[in-house]
Amino acid sequence: MDKRLLGVLAFIVLIILLAGCQEDPEEESVPDEAKAEVASEAELRAQQYVELWSGQEFSKMFGSFLSQGAKDIYGSLNFVTWQENIFEQLGVSDVNVSYTPPENGGEYPKDMPADFNVQVGMETLAGPIEFEQTLTLVYETHAEMEDWFVEWNPGLILPKLELGDEVEVRMTEPKRGELVDRHDRPVAMNSEAMMVGVVPQNFNTAEQKQKLARALGIDVEEINAAMNKSWVQPHYFVPIKQVPRSDQLTLDRVFSVPGTKQEPSDFREYPYGEALAHLVGYIGPITAEQLGELEDEGYGPNDMIGRQGLERALENQLRGKPGMRVIAHKAGSAEPVTLFENNAGESQVIKLTIDAELQKSLYESMGGEPGASAAVDPETGETLALVSSPSYNPNEFVKGITGSRYNELTNAAGNPLFIRFAASYPPGSAIKPVTAAIGLAGGAIDPEEGVTIEGKQWQLNGSWGGFHITRLHDDVENPIDLHKAIVYSDNIYFAQKGLEIGREELVAGFGDFGFTDEIPFLLNLQPSQVSNEGSLGSDGQTADTAYGQGQMLINILHLASMYQPFVNGGTMYEPLLLDEDEPAIWKEGLVSDEDAELLRAAMRSVVTDGYAKSANIGEVAVAGKTGTAEYKMRTGERGSEDGYFVGYDSEDPGVIIAMMIEGIEDESNGSDYVAGKVAGVLAKHK
């Protein structure tokens, strides 16, 4: 046989033998291409499920992706409704679910579960929640459809969550930031207290409620209102009222009432009480209206919130970042399990420009009489004191003021809840140095020129009818110049000079001192006005306005600020209240050095030679200006009068104090009565 033919036959035989050695095709391992196809099917289903999860599309997740076993165990009610309710309680938004691609290249045989490591993140009422879980898929046939399906369990909502758990969200309030004065003395501080509450399932008789109401000094209706809030469950702790730890007698009385419970809590305390009440304000339980507006910011029905003053204005800074605890009440277990906890953030201490002791002295000097006072630093504009009198104890509101006590305060003499430093009043003669500065700057007033004024009344001409300008003192020797007019507070002199300045020029001059401007201050203060319309419509109104009557109104803090240019070189600063703020010029170039010196000399003489003798004390060389604002009755007769004094230490003008006392008409020395109070405070804080 041909050798070449033999070689071919041998090769064929070899091929046949090799083929015979191959494994049965049914026992072959899956080719790489097939492996990739199987892996992509499982991952694709995982990706689709994760996308629906991130979009909170629970119905689609249940209908198209859950394994038959998961559907049978949990059902649509537990899977869809339960998750929706929990997410609503948590205030969930921005859900972001992702998975880590497998390191093994995605080898997922159909007869084995496919596990994916998923990362879950979501924003909640109190910040982000983040956790990792294993997402398991199994290959099943559903209605002739073969695919991968999710073996779901409640732990994919939150770790440790199980079927039958009742989830509760408890907000954890951060320790509220404190307020301190310029010398770091606390004016709103945190102290220890016990929150007295009840567990409804153990507290359900009328006798229990009556005993607790007596122990806490509240009405039974307040207990019922707390227990009837929408979030309350029979086993929940329902807070009723805070009691300071120092009030051991009340705590002992509460302890004797069956079904009550006490939990440690922070208590807000206001050490300066009435003296700083209107400025600092107080915190109290959040109202339903506030809760509706702020629920998205993490507030809950049991939260305390700033209700007045700086506590309200600085709520965001003082409150800090709340925390949250998500707990599960397990069937058959007395102790709940914490599913997630996000600790409350740190709050801050806010330092004020206020001198709390100066504030206290001013308040005490006013003796509970209706009025307001303010103290400012003329070199920075810092507000050193801002007082409203009479006042109330803000600690009453934190403890939980009763309706009867609130009504008592509302109807009390002097209206202690009214914030007088936020209002505006006729300034009377206290405005005369400002009118003088306007006249001097425009040339309408020559300080050396005197005018002759006879008698106590004057009018421009007969067109004024029965209207006259009246001065209190007609025994001052003529001629009356600027110095005498300020020292003896001559209304006729300033009325005449107001007419010489002119209507438009006078309005513009007061505008230069901030009239009609919104007062640049942290709290809302009523702006000062020249008149209701902002203009002067007649000669009589112009004359009246020039010495602080007519329709002129002024805020007490603004009044104190308007005296700054007389001692600092012509500048009026924006009134500051926060220590961290830098001085800011409100108005400048208001008075020349020469004119300021003239006015300072006259204001010192008001005390030494004029009608503010009560301020002429040895401890301090007081300078300033009195003022009496008269409220005329409908009959034209004299009515109520407010007394003013704006004063400072002429040798060391580090503080300017403005004070107004209502209803001084019965005081024999009029506004001198107020001057004595201011002088006493200046001496004490020299």
Residue 526 domain-assigned (yes or no): yes
Please state the domain count of the chain. Answer: 2
- Boundaries of domain holding 145: 32-164
Closest CA to 171 of 242, 226, 90: 90
Model pLDDT, residue 639: 60
Cα–Cα distance for residue pair 641/486, rounded to 1 Å: 20
Cα–Cα distance for residue pair 312/437, rounded to 1 Å: 38
pLDDT 10s digits, 672-685: 999 999 999 999 99
Find the mean pLDDT for residues 366-393: 97
Domain of 453: which CATH number? 3.40.710.10
pLDDT 10s digits, 240-297: 888 888 788 999 999 999 999 998 877 889 999 999 999 999 998 888 888 888 877 7
Strands, sheet with 383-389, edge to edge from the N-terminal-most edge strand = 383-389, 371-376, 656-661, 638-649, 622-632
- Return the minimum-mean-pLDDT range out of 435-439, 533-537, 589-593, 663-667: 663-667
pLDDT over 60 (residue 508): yes
> What's the sign of the alpha-carbon dihedral 326, 331, 333, 334?
positive
Helix H or strand E segment including 417: none
Give the residue from 132, 164, 196 where a domain finishes.
164
Token pair 């030494």: residue = 608
Domain of 135: which CATH number? 3.10.450.100
> What's the sign of the alpha-carbon dihedral 393, 396, 398, 403?
negative
CA distances to 37, 373, 616, 678, 684 from 358, in Å: 82, 11, 20, 11, 9
Residue 131 domain-assigned (yes or no): yes
The per-residue pLDDT of the chain, averaged, comes to 89
Collapsing DSSP to helix, strand or coil, 607 comes out as helix
Residue 578 domain-assigned (yes or no): yes
Find the mean pLDDT for residues 425-441: 97
Residue 565 domain-assigned (yes or no): yes
Residue 218 domain-assigned (yes or no): no
Residue 176 domain-assigned (yes or no): no
Give the residue from 133, 164, 195 where a domain finishes.
164
Q: Which amino acid is at 166?
A: E
Cα–Cα distance for residue pair 577/421, rounded to 1 Å: 14
> What's the sign of the alpha-carbon dihedral 375, 381, 383, 388?
positive
Closest CA to 525 of 492, 561, 497, 549: 561
Give the residue from 114, 143, 164 where a domain finishes.
164
pLDDT over 60 (residue 485): yes
Is 358 within 8 Å of 375 (Cβ atoms)? yes
Model pLDDT, residue 632: 53
Question: 389: which strand partners?
Answer: 371
Collapsing DSSP to helix, strand or coil, 474 comes out as coil
DSSP 492-517: HHHHHHHHHH-HHHHHHHHHHTTTTS
Characterize 344-356 residue by residue with b for buried, 16 or more Cβ atoms within 10 angstroms of its Cβ, and e for exposed.
Answer: beebeebbbbbbb
Closest CA to 482 of 305, 355, 601: 601
Model pLDDT, residue 667: 76
Helix H or strand E segment including 66: none
Residue 22 domain-assigned (yes or no): no
Model pLDDT, residue 637: 46
Cα–Cα distance for residue pair 523/295, rounded to 1 Å: 24
Question: 191: which strand partners?
Answer: 267
CA distances to 387, 551, 646 from 556, in Å: 10, 16, 10
Residue 270 domain-assigned (yes or no): no
CA end-to-end span of the chain:
137
Compute the half-sphere exposure of residue 426: CA atoms within 13 Å on the CB side of its CA. Answer: 23
Find the mean pLDDT for residues 114-139: 90
